[in-house]
Amino acid sequence: MDLGDIGEFGLIDRFRKWTSSSAPALVQGIGDDVAVMEMGSRTLLATTDILIEGIDFERSWLDPYRLGKKSLAVNLSDIAAMGGTPKYFLISLGLPKHLPLSFISRFYRGLRETARRHRVDLVGGDTSLSEKIVINICLLGEAKKKYLVFRKGARVGDELYVSGTLGDSALGLKILQKEGLQEKPGPLIERHLSPCPRVRLGQALAENRCATAMIDVSDGLLSDTRHIMEESGVGAMIWENRIPLSPSYRRMSPLYSKNPVHMALSGGEDYELLFTASPEKRKRIISLSHSLKIPITCVGRILPKAKKLLIARKDGTTYVPSRFGFDHFK
């Protein structure tokens, strides 16, 4: 058996079995967007993400400035998914010897801008030689424990919501792969290159106790819904015709995909927030959406576990999806 047989998530399940920790201060280990530890009276959040040239990005599409911004943004998105506040980060870099210094200075300019916008500080890292660029950030944050939102809190009868629009990043990537980077990237390509982590929204949902479970959409709507389902021990139904699509996506997706709805269901890297909430919270969620000026759409409902994940078509018939979303090893 190799990694291709079990996939990224089968592998993570094994990490979990091999490394189970029983430290009393550990609130959440492997299995959520961030690890959560109690440190005295405070609650520490920690998350890490790796970006590898040729796998997670191409130097020909992603300029160093945007690469710096994105490297931090993907970590911020995981803290957002808990309703936490990001604070400090460390960055480790593997760099080719003949990389121009100007590449790194532009990379750090992007990093610094995103750090400033989200009020986080770079406090260290590590540097080594590598054939391809490798970027690993470890971001630390904090939260009030009582407000934290985990993947495991969804209950039968909850509604399933998503912020923003879906599929834009996946379509942006498709356009990049086909046509390369244009002088002025359009909104779809920009969504792929410069994701906006929903930190403020995550905090607002948490502080207003609107969400029972939450995750950021990094692997795709279906895949990330499945993570909530597995951690919460529930099933879910998603209505295809409710998936929020941007005007650009509606216009361009038929040119690049035979099945535009499927691309929006399974496309990764939108970095929106996906959360579940009791129907009583509907009004509160709508008012948060208005005050933060971030669209939030109800796309489904939480069902008993036996129902697994069902997708409802426009005509009311349902199906069980066979492909879920991005997996590094599949």
Closest residue to Mg ion in the complex (CB): 33
Distance, CA of 32 to CA of 314 (rounded, Å): 32
Q: Of 10 and 31, which CB lies nearer to ligand ADP in the complex structure?
A: 31
Task: Tell whether residue 270 is a contact of ligand ADP (CB under 6 A).
Answer: no
Beta strands in 213-277 (DSSP E): 213-216, 235-239, 273-277
**Which residues have a Cβ under 8 Å from the Cβ of 141 and sit 6 or more positions away?**
34, 44, 45, 46, 47, 79, 84, 85, 86, 87
Which 130-189 positions form the footprint of ligand ADP (CB under 6 A)? none
Q: Provide the 3-class DSSP secondary structure of residue 227.
A: helix
Q: Of 319 and 329, which CB lies nearer to ligand ADP in the complex structure?
A: 329
Distance, CA of 41 to CA of 165 (rounded, Å): 38
Choosing from 3, 15, 259, 318, the residue that interacts with ligand ADP (CB under 6 A) is: 15
Choosing from 66, 68, 71, 78, the residue that interacts with ligand ADP (CB under 6 A) is: 78
Task: Tell whether residue 30 is a contact of ligand ADP (CB under 6 A).
Answer: yes
Q: Of 16 and 313, which CB lies nearer to ligand ADP in the complex structure?
A: 16
In angstroms, give the least distance from the CB of 144 to ligand ADP.
21
Task: Tell whether residue 26 is a contact of ligand ADP (CB under 6 A).
Answer: no
Beta-strand relationship, 213-216 and 273-277: antiparallel
In angstroms, give the least distance from the CB of 299 to ligand ADP.
19
Task: Tell whether residue 223 is a contact of ligand ADP (CB under 6 A).
Answer: no
Binding mask 38-57 for ligand ADP (x = CB under 6 A): -----------x--------
Task: Tell whether residue 270 is a contact of Mg ion (CB under 5 A).
Answer: no
In the sheet that holds 309-312, the strands lie side by side as 213-216, 273-277, 159-163, 296-303, 235-239, 309-312, 318-319
**Which residues have a Cβ under 8 Å from the Cβ of 310 and sit 6 or more positions away?**
235, 236, 237, 238, 303, 318, 319, 320
Q: Provide the 3-class DSSP secondary structure of residue 143.
A: strand
Task: Tell whether residue 33 is a contact of ligand ADP (CB under 6 A).
Answer: yes
Choosing from 31, 125, 153, 295, the residue that interacts with ligand ADP (CB under 6 A) is: 31
Which 25-84 positions form the footprint of Mg ion (CB under 5 A)? 33, 78
Choosing from 168, 216, 269, 327, the residue that interacts with Mg ion (CB under 5 A) is: 216
Task: Tell whether residue 12 is a contact of ligand ADP (CB under 6 A).
Answer: yes
Q: Which of 288, 158, 167, 282 is nearest to 228 (CA)?
A: 158
Q: How far is CA 264 from CA 2, 166, 222, in A?
A: 30, 5, 9
Distance, CA of 190 to CA of 184 (rounded, Å): 9
The count of residues interacting with Mg ion (CB under 5 A) is: 4
Classify residue 311 by its DSSP letter: E
In angstroms, give the least distance from the CB of 48 to ligand ADP.
7
Q: Which stretch in 27-35, 95-103, 110-118, 165-173 sits in contact with ligand ADP by CB under 6 A?
A: 27-35
Question: Where do contacts with Mg ion occur on this chain (CB under 5 A)?
Answer: 33, 78, 216, 218
Residues in touch with ligand ADP (CB under 6 A): 12, 15, 30-33, 49, 78, 218-219
